[in-house]
Structure 1
Amino acid sequence: MATRSSRPRRPARPRRSTSRTPVVVGVVVVVLVAAVVFGGVLLSGGSEESSGAIPVTPAPTAYPTTVEDGVVVAGGPAPHTLDLYEDPLCPACRSFEQRAGDAIAQAVAAGRLQVRYHLVNLLEQRSDPPGYSTAAGNAMICAAEHGAFPTVHTSLYAAQPAEGGAAYDTAQLVDLGQRAGAGPGYAECVQSGRYDAQIAQNYQQAVTNPALLQGGSFGTPTIVLDGRRLEPGSPALDAVLTG
């Protein structure tokens, strides 16, 4: 609140017998308010990052992964190819993972489906601090490079931070991958942000590809089966997943 700059009229000199109780009470109130505010600052100071270890949520089945130009390729050549464009902070991506993730993993493991995961940073500014979309996407790609993608991918969606809320930090992402069984090069990959630039490029390629846009805009998850964009829950996708 702005304060007025004009000087107030000088009051009459008080008598010596005037009580000081109101002054003391005022000081106490100010001290209490300051303590509450300061305490609130201390309590909220840790909200910039989610605290504690990220829980490991095992994938329903294992499957091989490779990395091609920053895209995670799950499984080998298969009758069907699924391209998934997703942001680790995207609530709709989490819902899709909860609905179809197990079936996708099983279809990949059975050789019916190859999945290409395009990690993007659509919600880069929607975490506290900003940047979680890139950091978590990089961790997923690093996990694919070092043998732990299925579990890291499943775990980060199972324990997804709230959009606009506190995010996991690099140390927590490293710790998750190590507990999920990632190889020794995983930590350096995450800490160096090896795939950060590629994730930004994935996003730019997606938003400029007319085939991926709906109503002139790009959103996540975007699902493309055998070159055809589908909605989550599409019967065509369900038919492939159920085999």
Structure 2
Amino acid sequence: MGGAERNARKRRQQQHQQGKNVVAQARGSAGMADGKRVGLIVGVVVLVAAVVVGGVLWTNASKNETEGQQIPAAQTQFDAPEKREGVVVETGDQDAPTTIDIYADFLCPACGSFYEQFGDQIQQKIDDGSLLVRTHPVPMLMDASDPPGYSLDAANASLLAADEGKFTAFHDSLFQNQPAEGGRGYSDEQLIQLGRDLGIESDAFAQGIRNGKYDDRLKSEFQKTSQNPDLMQEGPRGKGFSTPTVTHQGEIVQLTDNWLDQLTSGNS
């Protein structure tokens, strides 16, 4: 074999080896990339799992935040007369020149916001004798607590508190410490303890909460209320009954910033 042939074969061998090296390097790089991708995917899966678990734990804690708590008693200074008429509670001077009806659910967030915004104004008007308020506790959101039923339990307890002359303080306590819609409400024993903290000691109050004394009457009245065309308003899902609803002389009141002053000054 001549020198030229030997040199040519040597170059071919070197080129072949270089090709093998390139392939090996490429495979190694691909393996590393695959490893990184697998590691990244595993990391993402672990992160998502942690978020899901954390979300579930937070949701459960949020839903059950009322469990075992004592409902703080509202520091309500209120001397106006209160009287239960069926499933309606009248608060204020019977001879007051202006009367309004308020339909509210103790679990309804919009009702909580209503009382936060207008509660003090309403109380001032009752105190000065210019307003009589007829409160209709509405168990509209009976299925919106976990377990279901808090809306009805709270409405029943408020009527029993009215029988004891403690409706306003009981009512304010529940709205000031309102449970989250979709979460756990307050149990019978928590409602009973709130009554005790407000000075209600009668066995009739506790027994009435435990046996749902006014439940049937509340549900029956709500059926009538929800089907009353005079109480229906346009909403996101069409026309229907919603809370809070305020009426004056049978007409629904539009809740502008100064609606109460307009009513009590005779400008309605």
The TM-score range, normalised by the shorter chain, is 0.7 to 0.9
- How many Å separate the matches in 1 of 2:200 and 2:165? 5
Report the aligned-residue RMSD: 2.6
Q: Percent identity?
A: 39
Which one of the candidate residues 244, 249, 253 is aligned to 1:221? 244
Counterpart of 1:237?
260
Retained in 1: the 8 A contact 2:101–2:247? yes
> Which of these residues, 193, 196, 213, is aligned with residue 212 of structure 2?
193
Cα deviation, 1:42-87, whole Å, max 9, x if unaligned, reads: x87x939632110111224232211111111112321111100110
Determine the structure 2 residue equivalent to 1:66. Answer: 83
Q: Which residue of 1 aligns with 2:167?
A: 149
Which structure has the highest helix share of the two? Answer: 2
| 1:169 Cα deviation after fit | 0.1
**1:140 and 1:153 in contact (8 A); partners too:** yes
Alignment partner, residue 146 of structure 2: 128
Which stretch of the first structure deviates more once superposed, 120-129 or 104-113?
A: 104-113
Q: 2:195 aligns with which of 177, 202, 209?
A: 177
Deviations 1:122-145 (A, max 9, x none): 111000110000000111111111
Residue 118, structure 1, aligned to residue 141, structure 2: no
Give 3-state SS (helix, strand or coil) of 2:243's partner: coil
Check conservation: 1:225, 1:237, Cα contact below 8 A. Answer: no
CA distance in 2, matches of 1:125, 1:170: 17
1:80 to 98, 111, 132: 98
Gaps of 5+ in 1: 1-35
CA distance in 2, matches of 1:178, 1:131: 22
CA gap of 1:110–1:90, structure 2 versus 1, over 3 A, is same
> Which of residues 197, 205, 208 is equivalent to 2:224?
205
Alignment match of 1:55 (pick from 72, 77, 80): 72
Structure with the larger RCO, 1 or 2 (CA within 8 Å, 6+ apart): 1
The 2-side partners of 1:242 and 1:154 are apart by 26
**SS of alignment partner, residue 134 of structure 1:** helix
SS at match of 1:224: strand
TM-score by length of 1: 0.76
Q: Is the contact between residue 80 and residue 93 of structure 2 (CA under 8 Å) also seen in structure 1?
A: no
Q: Distance in 1 between matches of 2:125 and 2:208?
A: 29
Aligned equivalents of 2:99 and 2:129: distance in 1? Answer: 11
Q: Say how many residue pairs are matched.
A: 205
Unaligned runs of 5+ in 2: 1-52
- SS of alignment partner, residue 178 of structure 1: helix
Larger radius of gyration: 2
Q: Which amino acid aligns with 2:119?
A: G
In the superposition, the TM-score normalised over structure 2's length comes to 0.70
CA displacement at 1:240 relative to structure 2: 4.0
Q: Is the 1:87–1:137 contact (alpha carbons within 8 Å) kept by the matching residues of 2? A: yes
Return the letter of the residue paired with 1:130.
P
- Please state whether the residue corresponding to 1:190 is helix, strand or coil: helix
Secondary structure, in 3 states, of the residue corresponding to 2:64?
helix
Selected match of 1:104 from 114, 122, 130: 122
Distance 2:262 2:115 in 1: 17
Contact 1:118 1:202 in 2 (8 A): no
